[in-house]
Structure formats: C-alpha cells, structure tokens
C-alpha cells in the first residue's frame, strides 16, 4: 500500500508542476525520463527482476504468478526482458519467452504503474554465432565496416525498431521503455567485448542503431549504457558512444563467491557506481544499477546487509537482479517462498526507499 501511496503522491506532484499541454507534448521516452528523475530526487529506488512474471523457481508460463509477488505481495517495479532471437524471426526469445507473451506482460506492467527494460543477447548477424561465442574477433568490425555487415545489422535493427514501436497502451499511446544494448562490453565474454573489437567499432554499433531507430521514428526508448565492473572513470567512459546516444548510465556487477566475495563485490559495485553516478550527474543523465545479484542467495540477508547499503550510498533510479530460471534450480536471484532469504527480502521490500508495484 505504502508503495502505491508514494507513486500516487509523485504522480500528483508531477501533474501539478506540469501543465496538461506540456505533458502531452512530451515523448513517451521523455515521460519515462521524468519518472526516473523524480525517483532519484525522492531518494527512492525501483526494484527490478528479469523475466519475473513469466517463470520462476520451478514453475513456468503460468499467468499472474511471480516469485517476487509470492514473497512480498507486490510485483517488481521494473520488469527486465531480453530480445535475443527476435532478430532471427523466432517466436520465442533465447530463454523460451514467447514474444507475444512478453508484449502482453509489458502492457500489464505499464498498466500497474511499472517500468520495462530490455537487453539483447543477439546472434552474430553474419555467422549466426550466439552472444557468448568469442572465437572470432572480427565480428563487430565486419558488422559496422562492410556494406554486407551494415545491411544485415540494419535488417536486424528494423525488427527491433518495429518491436519497440508496437509497445502501446489500449488507447494507442506508445509505452516508454529502457533499451540496454551492447551491455558488459568492458568484459570480453560477448563477441562485442573489449578484447574483441576496437573502441571506434564499438561506438559504431550504437550510432548505426540509433540512426536506424530514428529513421523508424522510435520515440519511446531511453538508452542505457551498462559496462561491467570498472574502477576508474577512464575505463568506464572509454567506449561511451556520446551524450546524444545515452540517457542512463548503468553498471552490471554481480556478487560471486558467497561470503568470501562480499568485500570484493561491495568494493567493485561501489567503485563502478561511484563513476556512473558522477558521470550521470555531470551530464544531466540518470544512474542505475542495471544488473546485479547473488546467485542462489547463498547469503540469506544479502538484500538488506549487502545490497541495500550500496544503493543507499548511490542515487540510482533502479536496481535490477537477474532471472529465477525454471529449469536450472540453482540459477535464481530473488527468493521464492520457503527460501531462507525470504524474510530478509520482505524487509528489503518494506524498506521506505524501495519501490515495488501492485
């Protein structure tokens, strides 16, 4: 209830400072930008979970179910999705989520006052290798520098642009969403990673994408840049495509190694978010903790003891944890009913700073 009250007050404040005319002239992306900015100004943080309402720990594809809902009574305020395989004309994404269902859930999340964000674990358009195939270090170079590569990349982008344009409310208004392409590029586990392409070629992935989306008239996307752990601004900004291409400065940092890994996680998440927050502030952008988590929640009070202090020190609009796989029992990042981390997660949910939605 309290969370709904917060959203209602925020909405009323926004409505009172913005005339109806000015509001309707804002693009869906700019409306979402305002929402995220006011979240940060109010010192709140939206909680997010990947694929939350379509499957969870040991269940899949039921409607209305969610591990976060089952443990807290509310849905995550941010639903995270992945578009991988849309570019192949597949009806399901790389983790088996039907795109038709994803679109329905995006609408449902918007209707309950929540937000949607998308990543893209795509297949290499020229050789059809998945995102994790790093044996060929010329993939990006061919994609952005050869006529065949650019044409094939644009064919993929046409499909993504059409997908984003199709995200509409019942009244026909487009739904503002976040898109976070080419993520974790400061590591080298995806074929667009740091050791697999030049800085210039990485930036071209963004510029070609943006030109394509602009040609399609996509006006409902905020762009998130999300490096993996980086302890200096120099590393973080090395491949930043430019202020005109980015709205949200993120960080993808996971907690590995259980309790032994706590110190390293807190250090790396803090140093990366220090940079994201400082760069966002100096550029008029929004900072976010775009991906994190402690797999299996081997630390039962991880949410309140480890994560909450980090986000308390870093003004981020949202924090997103990765998925609760239905077919890999140890691969989950939010607790499910009966898990030892459940009561701590309820406490995290009840903290006055965290936002979930009904």
Give, for 210, the enclosing helix (H) or strand (E): helix 199-216
- Residue 57 beta carbon to ligand BMA: minimum distance, rounded to whole angstroms: 13
In degrees, rounded to 5, the angle at the alpha carbon of residue 9 between the alpha carbons of residues 348 and 168 is 85
Q: What is the largest CA-CA distance in the chain?
A: 55
Q: Are strands 354-357 and 45-50 parallel, antiparallel or unpaired?
A: parallel
- Alpha carbons 305 and 312: distance in angstroms, whole number: 11
Residues in contact with ligand BMA, counted by CB under 6 A, come to a total of 7
Residues ≥6 apart with Cβ < 8 Å to 96: 60
Residue with smaller CB distance to ligand BMA, 10 or 85: 85
Smallest gap, in angstroms, from Cβ of residue 328 to ligand BMA?
7
Nearer to ligand BMA (CB atom), residue 160 or residue 218: 160
Structure tokens at 245: 């291409």
3-state secondary structure of 61: coil
**Shortest CB 129 distance to ligand BMA, Å:** 15
Tell me the C-alpha distance between 197 and 255, whole Å: 27
Q: Which is nearer to ligand BMA, 47 or 118 (CB)?
A: 118
- Binding flag, residue 121, ligand BMA (CB under 6 A): yes
Going 45 to 50 to 55 to 59, the CA torsion angle's sign is negative
Element (H, E) at 46: strand 45-50
Question: Going residue by residue from 76 to 95, which x/- string records binding to ligand BMA, judged by CB under 6 A?
Answer: ------x-----------xx
Of 95 and 201, nearer to ligand BMA (C-beta) is 95
Least distance between ligand BMA and beta carbon 197 (Å): 20
Shortest Cβ 188–ligand BMA spacing (Å): 16
Which residue of 81, 179, 322, 336 would you call a contact of ligand BMA, by CB under 6 A?
A: 322
Min CB(94)–ligand BMA separation in Å? 6
Shortest Å distance, C-beta 119 to ligand BMA: 8
Closer of 28 and 193 to ligand BMA (Cβ): 193
N- to C-terminal Cα distance for the chain?
8
| Nearer Cβ to ligand BMA (42/130) | 130
> DSSP characters for 77-126?
SEEEEE-TTGGGT-SB-TTS-BHHHHHHHHHHHHHTT-EEEEE--PPPTT
* Interface contacts to ligand BMA, rule CB under 6 A: 82, 94-95, 121, 322-323, 331
């Amino acid at each position: 209830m309290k969370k709904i009250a917060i959203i209602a007050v925020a909405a009323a404040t926004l409505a009172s400072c913005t005339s109806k005319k000015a509001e309707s002239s804002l693009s869906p992306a700019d409306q979402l930008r305002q929402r995220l900015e006011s979240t940060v100004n109010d010192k709140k943080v939206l909680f997010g979970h990947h694929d939350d309402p379509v499957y969870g720990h040991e269940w899949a594809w039921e409607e209305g179910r969610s591990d976060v809902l089952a443990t807290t009574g509310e849905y995550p305020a941010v639903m995270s999705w992945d578009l991988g395989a849309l570019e192949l004309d597949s009806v399901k994404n790389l983790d088996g989520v039907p795109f038709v269902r994803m679109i329905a859930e995006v609408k449902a999340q918007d209707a309950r006052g929540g937000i949607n964000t998308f990543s893209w674990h795509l297949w290499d358009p020229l050789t059809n290798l998945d995102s994790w195939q790093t044996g060929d270090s010329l993939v990006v170079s061919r994609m952005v520098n050869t006529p065949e590569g650019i044409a094939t990349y644009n064919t993929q982008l046409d499909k993504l642009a059409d997908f984003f344009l199709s995200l509409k409310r019942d009244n026909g208004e487009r739904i503002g969403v976040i898109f976070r392409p080419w993520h974790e590029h400061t590591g080298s586990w995806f074929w667009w990673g740091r050791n697999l392409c030049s800085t210039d070629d990485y930036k071209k992935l963004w510029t070609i994408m943006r030109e394509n989306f602009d040609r399609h008239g996509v006006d409902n996307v905020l762009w998130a840049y999300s490096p993996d752990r980086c302890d200096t601004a120099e590393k973080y900004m090395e491949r930043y495509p430019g202020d005109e291409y980015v709205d949200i400065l993120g960080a993808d940092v996971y907690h590995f190694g259980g309790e032994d890994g706590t110190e390293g996680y807190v250090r790396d998440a803090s140093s990366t978010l220090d940079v994201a927050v400082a760069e966002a502030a100096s550029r008029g952008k929004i900072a976010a903790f775009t991906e994190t988590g402690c797999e299996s929640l081997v630390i039962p009070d991880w949410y309140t003891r480890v994560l909450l202090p980090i986000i308390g020190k870093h003004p981020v609009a949202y924090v997103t944890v990765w998925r609760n796989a239905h077919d890999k029992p140890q691969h989950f990042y939010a607790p499910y009913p009966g898990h030892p981390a459940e009561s701590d997660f309820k406490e995290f949910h009840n903290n006055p700073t965290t936002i979930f939605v009904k």
